[in-house]
Structure 1
């Protein structure tokens, strides 16, 4: 599937009347598994990128080059459309433009640009936002940097939990007016807040987590939420599995007695071994 076809698939999700849960992915193996299990799209979060690539917390230490390269690896491994968290665009509006160009070339189906002040300001413990004007400039730059018009660009804000609901709505309306393809919200704490946002905007909504009372997909559909994240459990599960396996080996458990290992059939499928054997037969003359 071409990059454009992946982007058009993501656009079809946003333009539908449905609400879906994306598969959280972070490397070649996880994206193949998500694809095989039938997820419509994948989500590559900034926090999992930092953990998978650097082993560091989500404090804006990962570089654009490192982030784009991980997306490139996933894009090669599977055709699943992936929405990626491009954080603050790795700098000011001009950096945002470059970020869009790099992530588009790496195969991202869509990306989010947020208005959080990153990296964290000296001496300031609380999360801060850039001004609305600077946020608008970043959205304009993101759209200007897009070479493929099918690439999805979402304006993202966490203002609801940082400043106020009114500020979140003002920012969303300003980003909507600039021409982004959708709006990504974090920090929404109640149905009343989501309903106010939905009533004040027109674009498809992506929700980055929400209280249990807002988990029903029928309710989210009615509020124009088209993609609803549910955290990044897969990398957490993988971390625990690796820990338990290494711990058991360190304590003397024989490899044959280890529990929770992938079967040879699953490993073969994830590696696309059958495809590789077919290519080896066709291109190298090896027996299948």
Structure 2
């Protein structure tokens, strides 16, 4: 009820243990705090918060227009809602090394388990688009060193994303990954890999976990979690997938409403009222204060809920 019973330090420890487990950690991208309840219920290991999704929710393209304040607020809303570790996209760290340090403090306070900082030039663009520019290795490593130095909780995972593969090729990406690890990165996010062999090459080059981005319509084929685990990938994200699924359904429903005059044909595909109330834990609020909720929800399951309890 209200928020997860598990504190941020415990989530960070769970994230680190998962990355070290040898089993690939699957982090679907949340596009609302409520969607974390479904991710958790379906047995995934964590939640990803994508910069592209946060921008899209504001009606903006993914070119670095969101602010640290907006990202930190959304990160807090998402992280407090789930017992799973949350990894958040911190873009380029919102500025120079001192700005990167402040970014770490703000996101640490938001309760995330980890964040990644990338090596693109501002204004950045989606990692699976052409025409990207990256900063020098010296500038990229300064960003990561600043993030590591600013971290107050040693459990917070500082991940370095590199977009060099799409600019200068695989060998340059491997060299950049090694430099980022030397600067203190806990994990490496090599963006836009073209083959499983490329992931294996990065895996062989560094002694920290690596992440695969399985975004639809991108540069990388949509490999399975098992295929990625087999070449040594530690974590896979599906950053924009749930947003795309949801907006596809919304568009189809709006088309039906426009042509048919009602949504009667769409009801079978909708989430039920009972399922919505289950996900936002109505019953726990009822147990806490009967004045909040004192009616039966048709079709609601009879089960115990997380956080259920009574006033002392």
TM-score w.r.t. the length of structure 2 is 0.83
Give the Cα–Cα distance (whole angstroms) in 1 for the partners of residues 136 and 225 of structure 2.
Answer: 33
Is 2:162 aligned against 1:157?
yes
Matched, 1:203 2:208: yes
Residues 1:226 and 2:234 are matched in the alignment: yes
Deviation at 1:262, TM superposition (A): 1.1
- Show the counterpart of 2:248: 240
Give the deviation of 1:21 after TM superposition. Answer: 2.3
Q: Is residue 274 from structure 1 mapped to residue 297 from structure 2 by the alignment?
A: no
1:67 correspondence with 2:67:
no
Residues 50, 239 of structure 2: 8 Å contact kept: no
Change (3 A) 1:9 1:177: same
SS for the counterpart of 2:234 is: strand
TM-score (norm 1): 0.90
Whole-Å separation in 1 of the counterparts to 2:235 and 2:280? 29
- The answer for unaligned runs of 5 or more in structure 2 is 1-5, 296-312
Contact kept in structure 2, 1:3 and 1:107, CA below 8 Å: yes
Residue 80 of structure 1 deviates from its aligned partner by 2.0
After superposition, the CA RMSD in angstroms is 2.2
Asked if residue 189 in structure 1 is aligned to residue 198 in structure 2, the reply is no
Task: Give the Cα separation in 1 of the matches to 2:7 and 2:31.
Answer: 20
1:258 aligned partner: 266
Deviates more, 1:105-114 or 1:237-246: 237-246
Question: How far apart are 1:255 and its partner, in Å?
Answer: 4.6
Unaligned 5+ runs, structure 1: none
Number of matched pairs: 281
Q: Which residue of 1 aligns with 2:142?
A: 137
- Among 170, 177, 186, the residue aligned to 1:172: 177
Matched, 1:31 2:36: yes
Q: Which has the higher helix share?
A: 1
